[in-house]
Amino acid sequence: MVTEDEFKDFMADVCTPVAVVTAMADGLPHGTTVGSLTSLSLRPPMVTIALDHRSGLLPKIRRAGRFGVNLLGAEQAATALAFATPAADRFAGVAWYPDEGLPRLRDAPGWLVCLPQRFVAGGDHVLLLGLVSRVGGTRGGAPLVYGRRTFGTHCALAPRQDFSITDQIAAFAR
């Protein structure tokens, strides 16, 4: 049997995008940081996110019938931390505005409006399958990613030098 620590250590090496998932309930904004945003389908456009089954955001999304995904940029680690803490008002000090009835973070470079299609229980989390009804944002900037228990960003590898077939044959002959 795999221990929880073995599994956590393995998953720490998996880099994930960082996003803040939001919903409105009772006229108030709600949101939480997730590292589980994944593309699910192109036709129709769908994403998945996973929320702890005890998440206070989960019933708010069920009631609202929609959720927003604020994809964070490389400079937004503090925002990710603010929405990952149990603070009473995670939106304090964060610039946001309503967009299609959902809280949208002003500085987040990516924005999705999603309609939940299914809620699938999986262990201690619930997987939300969301139909993407709108894409917005400025995209193209460096993304915020989480890996090895720290925030960072993605950068491209140096271009690979392609060798001709004669160079490769010569290399094997050495």
Q: What is the CATH number of the domain that holds 163?
A: 2.30.110.10
- Supply 14's token pair: 């998996």
pLDDT number for residue 28:
94
Best CA proximity match to 153, nearest among 162, 141, 139: 141
- Rama region for 27: left / alpha / beta (φ>0; ψ in -120 to 50; rest): left
- pLDDT the model gives residue 87: 80
Cβ-proximal residues to 56 (8 Å cutoff; 6+ apart), any chain: 30
Neighbours of 146 (CB within 10 A): 20
Distances in Å between the alpha carbon of 58 and those of 50, 65, 73, 146? 10, 11, 24, 22
99: pLDDT strictly greater than 90: yes
Among residues 150, 106, 110, 129, the alpha carbon closest in space to that of 51 is found at 129
SS3 state at 74: coil
Q: Of 52, 61, 57, whose CA–CA distance to 118 is shortest?
A: 61
pLDDT of residue 144: 98
Instruction: Give the pLDDT confidence of 106-128 residue by residue, as tens digits.
Output: 999 999 999 999 999 999 999 99
Note the pLDDT of residue 162. Answer: 80
Element (H, E) at 169: helix 165-173
Secondary structure class of 82 (helix, strand, coil) = helix
Is 78 in a helix, a strand, or coil?
Answer: helix
DSSP element (H, E) containing 170? helix 165-173
- Enumerate the H helices of 4-161 as residue ranges: 4-12, 57-64, 77-82
> What is the per-residue pLDDT across 136-153, written as a single tens digit (0 to 9) for each?
999 788 999 999 999 999
- How many domains does the chain divide into? 1
Full domain range(s) for residue 70: 2-171
